Amino acid sequence: MNFSALHRTEILNQLKSKTFDLLIIGGGITGAGIALDAASRGLSVALIEKKDFAFGTSSRSTKLIHGGLRYLKQLEFGLVKEVGSERAIVHRIATHLVIPEKMLLPLSEGKSMGYWLTSIGLKIYDWLAGVKEEDRRKMLTRPQTLSAEPLLKKEGIKGGALYAEYRTDDARLTIEIMKTAVKYGTTAINYVKALDFIYDTNGQVVGVNGKDELNANTFPITAKVIVNAAGPWVDELRQSNNSLIGKRLHLTKGVHVVVDKTLLAVQQAIYFEVADGRMIFAIPRGAKTYIGTTDTNYQGSKDEIFASSEDVDYLLKAVNQNFDKVDLKRENVESSWAGLRPLIHEDGKSASELSRKDEIFESDSGLISIAGGKLTGYRKMAERVVDMVIEKHFSDRQLNSCSTNTILISGNAFKNYQEVVRYRMGIRKQLTPSGLQEQANYLVSTYGTQTDVILLQALQAGSISEESLLHSEINFCINNEMAIQPDDFLVRRTGWLFFDISKLRKVQSQVLEFYKSKFGWDEKKLDGFKQLLESTLQNTINW
Ligand code: FAD
């Protein structure tokens, strides 16, 4: 199966000509996970995404594969056990992309987390998740806590805890899972929107009318079963299916801001309690540190969500109140992102109190919708949906059982993290003659072993230079990752919009020109994409 932006017509033709077993609406982590699970069991699968893959919440999270310590406080033991155990599995199947990260939890006088209760809580957390002995939580004394993080304000610190989590790149994880689903036969496409549903004479859903967002053509896509994995948009589709009854989504907005690491030089990821009792992360990533998140009810446009100045001020104040000699100001914020949590509404509960558990709804017309959940739990969510689809519709078929806990995602051929480190050292060596060795870390954590393909193509252009490497990287994303537009590349394939805005500024005209020549765009089309990119940039840096 193909996942190249250059073969869009071919992929569209497949969507138009075939009746699939399963059609998934939504190309976030939930949709990608379901596609991989279903295709690897032997179903024929199609997936459509109205914007780019991971355009929604799946590129706007805290980017942690974590057990959700705070859910323990809410006594959600089942959720903690499931997502906690999933961490090691997701690390194994995406070793270069899901990286172990020790989290420091400082404990202070007068805050809601007491020393002994936290010690017991973390022990339960490790036990529920089956964490290996060497990774289990370590309680720290006050001097140990302050030496682990010298930037912390000293007054009131009683001690702390170090526990194991993983950090990732949510958009890359989604895209690599999607690529792996395509390897297993999924027909997946971005920029195709499900407009409304098609029904048979018994009133059962048998397809959608899809709209190609690049040229406004509409066409039917048919399937035996349809899954709505549209994240924050799930209820829009349920509404169009006349099945928005009973439980509904409750959207809450979460914002993150990025500053240069020199301004908040934390030694490791840190999870700290702020004045209003909420918990905030500060996470180092390359040359930057990102801080988040907020959690506020949201009713605005789901397609255009940005940080507001109040969100930014809240996060900066939280940092300034908890770290010594740190005085972050609005002008220090280089970039930001805002995402929507597609949670299930519960009467009388505030944004932070709502459960993160996923739920599956089936309408009378057979539409299956899945909402809630977490990035970390995507694989188990997918397993539940596919089990249900098979039990109800394909129980007469000989299908494989779920094996996504052993399917390595594309770019991962590593047995463990030490192998990733060794591979990275090799890439560093290869890049040293061209002076680009500092890119090794970015390339390996972004593309894993696919870095070889990118370097080889750059070499074939003569030699490895900044320009040949950039061209080779864009080509790779167009040919293998369906990066249709410059912003697909600059935002969700590379993450430069968030974590390397100066590089984005430096290369944006080159990227636009490359796309222009590759796709034969005229000046008018180029201008349209220039404006799109500029407005994305402005919304990220001006709030
Ligand atoms: P989405 O990623 O939103 O995907 C849905 C997709 O459907 C979108 O791309 C959208 O464009 C598409 N779509 C909508 N309508 C249509 C249509 N009509 N036709 C075609 N396509 C359509 N979880 C963690 O495990 N770890 C974290 O650190 C973490 N941090 C978070 C921080 C924040 C601020 C937020 C908001 C969430 C966080 N989460 C985290 C939760 C996690 O990010 C989400 O649960 C997950 O990304 C949801 O994925 P999804 O695929 O269901 O939705």
pLDDT of residue 80: 82
What is the per-residue pLDDT for 356? 76
Dist. CA 274–CA 316, nearest whole Å: 11
5 touches 53 (CB < 8 A) = no
Tokens read off for 220: 């039917």
Domain boundaries, the chain: 5-57+171-248+355-393, 93-167+250-353, 417-541
Distance 56 CA to ligand 1 centre (A): 5
**232 C-alpha vs ligand 1 centroid, how far in Å?**
7
447 HSE (CA, 13 A, CB side): 21
Give the DSSP letter of residue 402: P
Task: Provide Rg for the chain, Cα atoms.
Answer: 23
Q: Quick one: pLDDT at residue 1? A: 65
Alpha helices in 214-293, H assignment, sequence order: 234-240
Task: Give the CATH class of 93-167+250-353.
Answer: alpha beta
Torsion of CA 510, 515, 518, 523, to 10 degrees: -100
Atom of ligand 1 nearest to the CA of 193: 19
Nearest-CA residue for ligand 1 atom 31 is 61
CA distance 284 to 262: 10
Q: What length does the chain have?
A: 543
Rounded-to-integer distance, Cα 30 and Cα 370, Å: 8
Which residues does a 6 A CB cutoff place in the pocket of ligand 1?
A: 25-31, 48-51, 55-58, 60-64, 66, 193-194, 229-233, 237, 254, 293, 339-342, 373-376
Instruction: Report helix, strand or coil for 239.
Output: helix
Predicted confidence at residue 69, as pLDDT, reads: 75
Give 347 Cα–ligand 1 centroid separation in angstroms: 23
Beta bridge partner(s), residue 140: 160
Span from the CA of 262 to the centroid of ligand 1 (angstroms):
31
Q: Do 245 and 365 form a contact (C-beta atoms < 8 A)?
A: no
CATH top class, domain 5-57+171-248+355-393: alpha beta
d(CA 291, CA 263): 12
| Superfamily holding 417-541 | Alpha-glycerophosphate oxidase, cap domain (1.10.8.870)
- Mean pLDDT, consecutive 10-residue stretches, the chain (543 aa), reads 92 97 98 98 98 98 88 79 89 96 92 82 86 90 97 95 95 98 98 98 98 97 98 97 92 97 97 93 96 95 95 97 96 97 83 80 97 93 98 97 97 95 98 96 98 97 94 98 97 97 96 96 95 92 86
pTM given for the model: 0.97
Cα–Cα distances in angstroms (integers) from residue 374 to residues 163, 369, 392, 425, in the given order:
20, 15, 25, 33
Q: Which residue has the tokens 């980017």?
A: 63
d(CA 449, CA 451): 5
What are 506's two structure tokens? 């430096």
Would you state the pLDDT for residue 121? 85
pLDDT given at position 377 = 93
Q: 373 φ, ψ to 5°?
A: 85, -175
Answer whether 281's CB lies under 8 Å from 257's CB.
Answer: no
